[in-house]
Chain A
Amino acid sequence: MPILSPKSWSLAIKLSLTITAVVAAVGFMIGAVIVAQDWKRFQDELGAKALLLSEFVAITTPKAMLRKDYWQLYLSLKNMASRRSDTTGGHEVITAMILDAEGKVMAHLHPAENKMDLPFSPGNRIEEELFQQAMSTRSTIVLSSGGFSKRGFQEGVVPIFSDQKYMGVVRVRLSVAQLYEKAKDSAMIVLALVFCFVIIGSGLGTIVSRRMVRPLTAVTQGLEAVGRGEMTDFTPIPINERDEIGHLSVTFNQIMAELAEKKMLEEEIAMSEKLVALGRITAGVAHEVNNPLAGLLNCIDTLRKHPDDKKLINRYLPVIDQGLHRIKDIVHSLLVGLKIEESHETMSIQHIDKLHDLIKAEVGERNIDIIWENRTNKDLYIPGKIEQIVCNLLKNAVDILPQGGKVVFCMHQKGPQLVIEVSDNGPGIPSNIRNQLFDPFFTTKTNGTGLGLWVVYRLVQSMEGIIEVMSDEGQGTTFHVSVPVITMKAA
Chain B
Amino acid sequence: MRLICLLLLFWVYPTFASETEPPIRFGLTAVVLTENLRFLDQWSQYLGQKMDRKIEFVLRKSYQDVMDLLDSGGIEFAWICGYPYVQTRKPESLQLLTVPIYRGAPRYHSYIIVHRNSTHQHLSDLKGKVFAFSDPDSNSGFLYPLTLMMDQGEKPETFFRQTFFTFNHAETVQAVSEQVADGGAVDSYIWEYLAIFRSDITEKTRIIKTSPSFGFPPIVSRIGVNDTTVSLMKSTLENMDEDSAGKELLERLKLDGFGHFSDSLFNEIRTMAYKTHRADPIYSMLPTD
Contact = CB atoms under 8 A, between A and B. Distances in A.
Interface string A58-77: 00000000001111001100
Contact of A71 (B161, B175, B179): B175
A115 interface: yes
Interface residues of B, number: 12
Contact of A117 (B162, B171, B178, B179): B162
Given A112-B179, A117-B161, A71 B130 contact: no
A71 B162 contact: no
Contacts of B164: 68-71
B180 interface: yes
B166 A71 contact: yes
A199 to B, nearest CB: 55
B43 interface: no
Interface in A328-344: none
A116 B166 contact: no
A111 B179 contact: yes
A288 B107 CA distance: 163
Contacts of B112: none
- Among A70, A71, A74, A118, the most chain B Cβ lie within 10 Å of the Cβ of A71
B178 A71 contact: no
Contacts of A118: 161
A111 B178 contact: yes
A115 B132 contact: no
B274 interface: no
B102 interface: no
Contacts of A116: 130, 162, 180
Contacts of A107: 180
- For the complex of A and B, list the 10 residue pairs with the smallest distance between their C-beta atoms, beginning with the closest: A112-B179, A117-B162, A111-B180, A70-B164, A71-B164, A71-B166, A111-B179, A74-B180, A117-B161, A116-B130
Interface of A: 68-71, 74-75, 107, 111-112, 115-118
B92 to A, nearest CB: 31
B175 A117 contact: no
B176 to A, nearest CB: 10
16 contacts: A68-B162, A69-B164, A69-B165, A70-B180, A71-B132, A71-B165, A75-B171, A111-B180, A112-B178, A112-B179, A116-B130, A116-B162, A116-B180, A117-B130, A117-B161, A118-B161
A70 B162 contact: yes
A111 B179 CA distance: 6
A68 B166 CA distance: 12
Contacts of B180: 70-71, 74, 107, 111, 116
A76 to B, nearest CB: 12
Contacts of B166: 71
Contacts of A111: 178-180
Contacts of A69: 164-165
Interface in B181-201: none
Query: In terms of DSSP, what is the predominant structure of the interface of chain B?
Result: mixed
B130 A115 contact: yes
A453 B164 CA distance: 134
Contacts of A75: 171
A341 B164 CA distance: 129
Nearest to B132: A71
A74 B178 CA distance: 10
- Among B161, B162, B180, the most chain A Cβ lie within 10 Å of the Cβ of B180
Nearest to B175: A71
B104 to A, nearest CB: 34
A107 B162 CA distance: 12
Interface string B154-165: 000000011011
Contacts of A68: 162, 164
B160 to A, nearest CB: 10
Contacts of A115: 130
Given A117-B130, A117-B162, 8 more contacts: A69-B164, A71-B164, A111-B178, A112-B178, A115-B130, A116-B130, A116-B162, A117-B161
Contacts of B132: 71
A69 B287 CA distance: 13
Contacts of B161: 117-118
B215 to A, nearest CB: 27
A28 to B, nearest CB: 49
Nearest to B171: A71
Interface in B28-73: none
Nearest to A70: B164
A70 B167 CA distance: 12
A111 B171 CA distance: 15
A364 to B, nearest CB: 138
- Among B130, B164, B175, B179, the most chain A Cβ lie within 10 Å of the Cβ of B164
Nearest to B179: A112
Nearest to A69: B164
A65 to B, nearest CB: 12
A19 to B, nearest CB: 63
Contacts of B175: 71, 74
Nearest to B180: A111
B70 to A, nearest CB: 25
A122 to B, nearest CB: 20
Contacts of B179: 111-112
Nearest to B130: A116
Contacts of B130: 70, 115-117
A68 B161 CA distance: 13
A112 B115 CA distance: 10
- Among B161, B162, B165, B171, the most chain A Cβ lie within 10 Å of the Cβ of B162
Nearest to B182: A115
Nearest to B117: A112
Nearest to A106: B162
A68 B164 CA distance: 8
B64 to A, nearest CB: 15
Nearest to A115: B130
A107 B181 CA distance: 11
A69 B171 CA distance: 13
A117 B166 CA distance: 17
A424 B179 CA distance: 127
A127 B165 CA distance: 32
Nearest to A117: B162
A271 B137 CA distance: 136
B288 to A, nearest CB: 11
Nearest to B115: A112
A111 B184 CA distance: 15
A70 B132 CA distance: 10
A115 B164 CA distance: 14
Interface in B131-181: 132, 161-162, 164-166, 171, 175, 178-180
A118 B164 CA distance: 15
Nearest to B289: A67
Nearest to A118: B161
A112 B180 CA distance: 7
Nearest to A104: B162
A117 B164 CA distance: 12
